Amino acid sequence: MSELTLRTALGPYPHTAGLRDGTIRSDRVEFDFATVEPITRAFRRMVRTLDFDLCEIALTTLAQAVAYRKPITGLPLVMTGGFHHGSLVCRRDSPLRGPQDLPGRRIGVRAYSQTTGIWVRGILRSEYGIKPETMSWITQEDAHVAEYPDPPFVRREAAGKDLRAMLLAGEIDAEIGLAGLDAPEVRTVIANAATAAAEWSRRTGVRPINHVVAIKTDLLAAHPWLAHELYMLFVRARAGTPPTYGMAVNRAAIEMLLRFTAEQRLTPTRLRPEDVFATDLMAT
């Protein structure tokens, strides 16, 4: 019998499979996995009602939770990430010639606080000088953290409206993070997005992070060994082409997203990695 059983919500990734099937075990901690599909539905439950002890979470949701004093703490275990220069798309016949044409346009995104959107807006501002408030943002959902109010240039779309359909119908000018649109129907707003992303990554040293892992803070306080035990279990479970774990290799990405999050007023102040993640794992 392990010392501790954690109610856990993680996506079904190759790098978590060993934890799920019991291949990777610990004498000190066990996982009681909840089924949440898609895993993004767990984020709101974690920050609003603390339904889980250990939960995958969007990095922005984690930052907002810390800013609004929710009792959760991050672990530098990257579940998902990737480049986002190509995440902003428009219709192929759109008059948009590039980011310079975005001011005054209507941009759709699932939620203003969605992490992919924050990366895109941060890149638009830092690389192209385009501020978020120069556009109108059309959303479907509020933030996972209930205390956060959307800014005045964000409008919630009526229930039942579909951003994909709105884009193709010309009701919005561009959209962030739409999966599954056929390539003939859309194109990226940033031309040659993959090349632009690769050059940006070489110059900044950043590979964007979307999801990490969070744990209830009181569990870390009650079990001082827990953060390191979990970290080593996740490291042992990695398989295939895993994401990178640890603060050292991910600090630049974390710091950049925390800066973007503050610049976009999603947190009242700019947080440091030490404010958001377990201090015991700062040296990983």
For the segment 159-198, what is each residue's pLDDT rounded down to a tens digit? 878 999 999 999 999 999 876 666 788 999 999 999 999 9
Other Cβ atoms closer than 10 A to 136: 15
Query: What value does the mean pLDDT of the chain take?
Result: 95
Residue 1 has pLDDT above 70, yes or no: no
The pTM of the full predicted model, rounded to 2 decimals, is: 0.95
Query: Tokens at residue 153, please?
Result: 């240039």
Residue 117 banded pLDDT, cuts 50, 70, 90: very high
Q: Are 7 and 24 in contact (CB under 8 A)?
A: no
Decide: helix, strand or coil at residue 5: strand
In the block, tokens 């009526």 appear at 158
Higher per-residue pLDDT: 85 or 159? 85
271/63 Cα distance (integer angstroms): 8
The confidence score (pLDDT) of residue 184 equals 84
The confidence score (pLDDT) of residue 105 equals 98
Report pLDDT digits (tens) over 126-144: 999 999 999 999 999 999 9
205/98 Cα distance (integer angstroms): 24
- How would DSSP label each residue in 53-80? SEEEEEHHHHHHHHHTT-SEEEEEEEEE
Q: Are 233 and 17 in contact (CB under 8 A)?
A: no
Report pLDDT digits (tens) over 198-237: 999 999 999 999 999 999 999 999 999 999 999 999 999 9
The confidence score (pLDDT) of residue 33 equals 98
The confidence score (pLDDT) of residue 239 equals 79
The confidence score (pLDDT) of residue 242 equals 74
171/94 Cα distance (integer angstroms): 12
CATH 3.40.190.10-classified regions of the chain: 4-82+207-281
CATH, domain range 88-204? 3.40.190
Share of the chain above pLDDT 90, in %: 91
The confidence score (pLDDT) of residue 3 equals 86
Residue 20 has pLDDT above 90, yes or no: yes
The confidence score (pLDDT) of residue 179 equals 65
250/242 Cα distance (integer angstroms): 14
- Comparing 10-24, 145-159, 167-181, the range with the smallest average pLDDT is 167-181
Residue 158 banded pLDDT, cuts 50, 70, 90: confident
25/233 Cα distance (integer angstroms): 7
Domain 4-82+207-281, CATH homologous superfamily name and number:
Periplasmic binding protein-like II (3.40.190.10)
Q: Kindly state the average pLDDT of the residues 248-266.
A: 97
Residue 2 banded pLDDT, cuts 50, 70, 90: confident
